[in-house]
Amino acid sequence: MEYHPGFDIELTHDPLGFSHGADVMAPPLELRRLDDVRATLRDPEASGPDVLYAIAMDIGPAVDRPRQVDQNILFGACAYAGGTVGEEPVRSQGHVHAVSASCGTSTGELYEFWEGVGIVYMQEFAADDPGRCFAVRAEPGEKVLVPPGWAHCTVNADPSRPMAFGAWCVRDYGFDYADLRARRGLAWYPVLEGGELRWLPNEHYQHSSALVEKAPGDLTEFGVDGAGPIHRQWQQRPHDFDFIPRPRMDDPRWQSFIP
């Protein structure tokens, strides 16, 4: 991969997914197909690849698992197909992280891109007023943090090739799709026109919000170094990542957060 995540894992193209070394935990791949995401597409009848993305949750060196279980943190890897779905690039359908029983709140997610070009789109609320909206474009090695409670999706911004990333999240994760499906998706749709990606508002929201397109921000206030793989950073400083499984919602860093 263009950026190596710090343990023995590689992207595979056919089939879409990952290969890894003998010392790496090998969870079964979860496949997300086109029919799984139709409810949040701009054109629910659009055609595209059958398998849009593959997910390997709880992947990484087996020696790390006891410490991750104790901390209630989990590392996942995702591989996205190239191509388009109608006029949209391949993307996830979007969700909000459900309230985790372990901490009593929704939790955040820390991404690191490995291959291709990705966009993490996020909005404050899965409601008629979506609040602040950001489209954060990331290249290999760059990190993006989604705050607790924010609705978000991931977009393959370069349809000419697959995309891959890893992410830290809480172990007892869950996804809430209901509010987004009721509004036919997030507040902004990514659309390809003449090879360029632009954003169109979702008319199923009663209130519109401006969309800020940007590069990833500085995450050092969360203890995340932009220079090294986030899996290796966790190995070296695991408790710097406690804000993932045990977020404090009164933490002022969340109130003024700009991704």
Query: Strand 211-214 to strand 133-138: parallel, antiparallel, or no bridges (unpaired)?
Result: parallel
For residue 168, being part of any structural domain is answered with: yes
**Neighbour tally for 150: CB within 10 Å:** 25
Asked whether residue 2 is domain-assigned, the answer is no
**Contacts of 153 by beta carbon, 8 Å cutoff, 6+ apart:** 40, 91, 92, 93, 94, 95, 120, 121, 186
1 domain-assigned:
no
> Rounded to the nearest 5 degrees, what angle is found at the Cα of 204, between the Cα atoms of 200 and 208?
60
What is the tens place of the pLDDT at every residue in 149-160?
A: 999 999 999 999
Give domain status of residue 221, yes or no.
yes
Q: Are strands 30-33 and 151-156 parallel, antiparallel or unpaired?
A: unpaired
d(CA 217, CA 225): 11
Q: pLDDT of 182-237, one tens digit each? A: 999 999 999 999 889 999 999 999 998 999 999 999 999 999 998 999 999 999 99
Contacts of 32 (CB under 8 A, 6+ apart): 51, 52, 53, 54, 55, 92, 93
* Contact yes or no for 173/22 (Cβ under 8 A): no
Model confidence over 16-26: pLDDT tens digits?
999 999 999 98
Residue 96 lies in a domain: yes
Q: What is the CATH number of the domain that holds 67?
A: 2.60.120.10
**Domain contains 109:** yes
Rounded to an integer, what distance in angstroms lies between the CA atom of residue 28 and that of residue 101? Answer: 24
- In-domain check, residue 3: no
Q: Determine the pLDDT at residue 251.
A: 87
For the stretch 112-154, pLDDT in tens is 999 999 999 999 999 999 999 999 999 999 999 999 999 999 9
Count how many domains the chain has.
1
Mean pLDDT, the chain, whole residue set: 96
**Domain range for 122:** 9-255
Domain for residue 72, yes or no? yes
Please state whether the predicted TM-score (pTM) of the whole model is above 0.85.
Answer: yes
pLDDT digits 0-9 by tens, 60-118 = 999 999 999 999 999 999 999 999 999 999 999 999 999 999 999 999 999 999 999 99
Tokens 């969360």 -> residue: 222
